Each structure stands twice: as C-alpha cells, then as structure tokens.
Structure 1
C-alpha cells in the first residue's frame, strides 16, 4: 500500500527512513510532522514522504535530543490504539513503526558478526538521535517500533540508552486467537518473526526447531510457533524491565486498555514522563469507535467479538495442545 496522505503541508524536515548498517547507506525522506503523525506505519506501506534520497551513512551519535521514550509490544495487542491516544498535537508526536529500527533488527546477525560499518550500539544511537531530532526541544517524541525490533531489546534497552518504556501485551490464548484471526499472512509473519527473535535467547533456535517440527498438522505447528513467539517476547520484555529497574506498571495489558482506555492513557503518560492531558476520557472513547490502523473506518467491537468466538470454537483443541506443549518445554532462559 502506497497511499498519499491527505494532510496539510507543514515545515519540511529530513527523516531517517531506511538504514543499511552493512553497506553504509541511509534513505532520507523529506516530509513534515503532519504526515508523520497521520501515518499508521512509517515503514513504507504508506507514502509519508515528498521525496527521498539514498546517501552515505554519516553516524552522528545520539544527537542533542535523542528519542528516549518507547512503546514496545508483542503485536496485535492494541499498541497502535495506545500510540494514537498518547499522540497530542503541539506536545507529543508518536512515530509508529519507523523502518530504520526494523532495518537494524533485520541486520542484527550480520552486525553482531562484525560485518557492519559500525557496532550495533552506534547504529542504534544514530537512529535514536535522528528520530528524536524530529521533535527537538518543543515536541516530545515517542517511538512505537514494530515488534520486529524486539530482537534488539537487549541493546535498545541497555541501561542508560532510553529513559521511559511501556510494554504492551495480552493473554497468550488471546494472542493465539488474534494471530489465527489474521489468517495465512499473519501466521506467516509470526513464523518469520519467531525466526528473527529466537537467536536473541539462549536455546531459542532449538526450541523453535522443536515447535516447527516436521510432523503433524501444519496449523498445529503454527500454533506452537505462535505460542513460543509470545513467550519469547515476554521473556525479552522481562529482561529489559529488570535491566532498567522499571516498575511492573510499565506492562500494559490489551484487555485493560480496551476496557479502561482513559485510565490506561493516564498511566501511560505518567510512565512516559509526558505532562499533558486533561481531555483523556473524551479522546479515548472517541478513538475506540474508529479502526486504529485506518481511522477513516469504523470499528465494531461486536463484530470483533464474534470473530474471536469463531476462532476459539474452531481452534480450541489446537490452542490447548500448543499451550500444553509450551508448558512442558520449561521456562525460557533469561
């Protein structure tokens, strides 16, 4: 999808869109804050730029105003809704799924092997500096990366690198239902993501190979992989929270977000160090009626509930087996 965004033109800014830490190149997009705010994805699925240029990568460290507020998530758990709730024109700009961080995650194996133009930490610092420069002192920047970036959590959340973070997740059975509700494309995405995240955990690749197996129904194997993916992401969240001594309140559950959006918004703003608010209830409940990734479309909770019930009825035994398998594997190494 490459749709033009119907937003008023604003002051032009240079935005780090792509980053190739192996070849030493960067794609710089000419855009404005209005286009960045309106985009549900800053990964190229939506055209948020006026022009782009590929230039030699010039590392500049973290810069004067690095991005130091983050929303991490397991996927399909309301993180885009939370991002839109937190975004506050004139005060807070949430950058949703910038591709430059996903690029570093995708190059992680090569970078760890020393095949990059710089260490992985230097590339992360450059990305944080570039993303933060979009706001500078007058506008707080919050970054909601794709969950593809969770493989980078040990480096991205190294103590002292970022100041505030939220971790959005959901019950593992609900996660299985959300992934299966998305059909073949979502299952394929999660299988690829599990392959990216597994090497970040001791024993992860071996567990993934066991989950994938070569025998049995393909959907049974997919359910095991999805269950393991949820557990791996939760383990990485636990590790990041412990490393920074963040409070348990930084964890946000999807069910709580959907049931009490205004209360979650107030907590999220406090934990992210954002001193704005005042119209929480009105904004929260207005947004709940729209599709978060396509605000022009209405969202029907009753229809979503019907879909979830159908998925559970059809796959209940499969989900039971996947969760039992996960339990028998024992805890993931932290």
Structure 2
C-alpha cells in the first residue's frame, strides 16, 4: 500500500517537467527520474546514460505510483522523429529545437526499454496500452503551455513507432537511399563497430517481416551488413507509416534536405505545426549547427566533410558496395516489404 508521502513524492515528480523519466527497472518496475532543467534537456544529444552525470539529482518511484499521479486529461501531444540511423535526425532535431515553441528531446532511454519489453512480450495488450498512455503523458510535458515536445527516437524504436505517436500528433521519418546509407556506415570507424553489434538483431527483425529469409551472419561482408541494416530499418519505418497513414507521417530524405535545406526545413516545421518563415529557416541552415557534428557539437562535420567521407568509402569499398546493392535488389524482387522500401528510397 502506498503511503501519502509516496503519493506526494510521485505527484511532485510528474508535475515538474524538469524531472525527466529516465529509465525503468525491469525487475522492480521502478521508474527513475533525473533532474534536467530545460537547457540541459535541449543540449543533450542522448537522454541515456551519457546524460546521467554524477551530479544529477535522481528520484525513483514505483511505476504504478507514477502512473497514478498522471491525470487522465494530461497532455498527450508529443511529436516524434524516427529514422534509420546516421541520416541527420539529430541535426533535424537541433534545428527544429531552436524554436522556442519546441522542447526537443533526443533518444530517451525509456523508449528503448519499452521497445525491448514489448518485443519480449513482457506485457499483455491491455497493459501495453495503459503503459503507453502514461509514457506519452510523461514525454508530452513541457516548461510552458505554448511549447510542444518533439522526441527524436533511437533507430530501432521504429519497431513500435505506430504505437508511440498519439492521436493528433505527427512524425518525421528520416531516411536516405541504400547506397548513401551503406557508404555512410562504411565511412566511419564508430559506425562500423556499431554495425557489428546491431546486425544480429537486425537480421532477426528483418526476417520477421520477410518470411523465409535466411542470412548467414558469418558470410556477410560489412557492406552486406550495412545493406541489411538499411533494409531492416526502412521496412520497419514503412510498416509504421502504413499504420499511421500519410496525414501523420512526413518522409524526409536527408540528401534532399542537404540539397534544399531551407525548403525542406520549412516543410518539416509546417508539417509539425510550427511557425517558421524563410528568413528563420535560412538563418538556421547557414548557422553553426550545419557545420558541427550534431551528436557532439565540439567536432566539425559539414556537408562538405560528409561528401568526402562518402567518397572515401566508395573508393575503399566500391566492389563490396556494388555487390551489396545487387543483393538488395534481388531481395526486393522476392520480398514485397523490401521491394516497397526500395521503391521509396532507391537502391543506388
């Protein structure tokens, strides 16, 4: 039985948007809140362990206690950015987050916990709906009534994108063509290391949408693993887009954004209901954010440097990339989900 003091503590945490719902302990079903003021939330590239410094205040309450403190009529209007990874989603989040009417939140750990728990079948359907309602309310909190939360999710959270976007809210789906994606992944040491870790899970996820698909992990080149990553994440987004419908999803090709940044940024802002004129968009896309690495602003990463990275990957892995793209085309001929993804973004 919860005491009055426990109920009051949970209510205080839920009422204050500076107490961010950081993580959920699967064993104790306790929700950890971390205190991050507005500027801290805006600055964080990742709302996971990297944001949880030793000096941050933390409070833990039972999930049921936090849920009971959420009013039935609480705001549930958070917008989302979903993506396939390494396609400018953090940059888009930062650009849109420059608006005073946006509270940009990047990669909350709690979303990953939900995606993993739902994939593992930890909760029944009724409990999933109840928990998602509470999660949505917690992520919709802002510091001012004229703000709206915009959550940029981790890539594999796209598996539950259609369950996360609440009624009346919208989502940006960021992507690039398969060739650009593969070159991007092969162009960086960190992304290649990440690729090795993510590939087994991606193979399993992709096979779930492509019955009969069997891939031998030990025989895949790095380029083929990157191709599998593209196919997995694109088919994940496509499935969610089919459920949400075209009125609630705007597909944004990152290469198209770089070619026409002002128009693309204005289109994304308008889709989300944000007021942004051409002058403001021009100021943002010619400002420092476009010349920095969005996940770590202390490093330079301009569109010109990106072109150099992609060109270097083509020179070093050109044969493997072409073979991977040919393999992707063959997969698209056999499995409609992959074929539809190719139809949207292209192979080459």
Q: TM-score, normalised by structure 1?
A: 0.83
Distance 1:266 1:324 in 2: 36
Distance 2:24 2:30 in 1: 6
Structure 1 segment 73-84 matched on structure 2, within 5 A: 73-84=83-94
Aligned 8 A contact 1:164 1:273 in 2: no
Among 124, 127, 146, the alignment partner of 1:119 is 127
Among 295, 303, 306, the alignment partner of 2:305 is 303
Structure 1 segment 253-272 matched on structure 2, within 5 A: 253-272=253-272
Q: Describe the shift of the 1:28–1:306 C-alpha distance in structure 2 as closer, same or farther (beyond 3 A).
A: same
Q: Which residue of 1 aligns with 2:13?
A: none
Among 201, 211, 214, the alignment partner of 2:215 is 211
Q: Which residue of 1 aligns with 2:43?
A: 38
Q: How far off its partner does 1:298 sit?
A: 2.7
Gaps of 5+ in 1: 1-10
1:133 aligns with 2:141: yes
Q: Which residue of 1 aligns with 2:225?
A: 225
Distance 2:172 2:58 in 1: 31
Q: How far off its partner does 1:161 sit?
A: 3.9
The root-mean-square deviation of aligned C-alpha atoms, in Å, is 2.8
Structure 1 segment 6-45 matched on structure 2, within 5 A: 13-20=18-25, 23-45=28-50
Distance 2:254 2:42 in 1: 23
Q: How far off its partner does 1:100 sit?
A: 0.6
Moved more, 245-254 or 168-177: 245-254
After superposition, what is the alpha-carbon deviation per residue over 1:28-48, rounded to whole angstroms, capped at 9, x for unaligned?
111211100011111122336
Q: How far off its partner does 1:65 sit?
A: 1.3
1:173 aligns with 2:179: yes
Moved more, 138-147 or 47-56: 47-56
Q: What number of residue pairs does the alignment pair up?
A: 312
After superposition, what is the alpha-carbon deviation per residue over 1:250-291, rounded to whole angstroms, capped at 9, x for unaligned?
110111112222211100011112234551101111121222
Q: Which residue of 2 aligns with 1:86?
A: 96
After superposition, what is the alpha-carbon deviation per residue over 1:19-73, rounded to whole angstroms, capped at 9, x for unaligned?
2456422111112111000111111223367211232112248751124311110
Moved more, 268-277 or 47-56: 47-56
Partner of 1:45, secondary structure, is helix
1:52 aligns with 2:33: no
Q: How far off its partner does 1:235 sit?
A: 2.1
Distance 1:148 1:299 in 2: 24
Q: How far off its partner does 1:313 sit?
A: 1.6
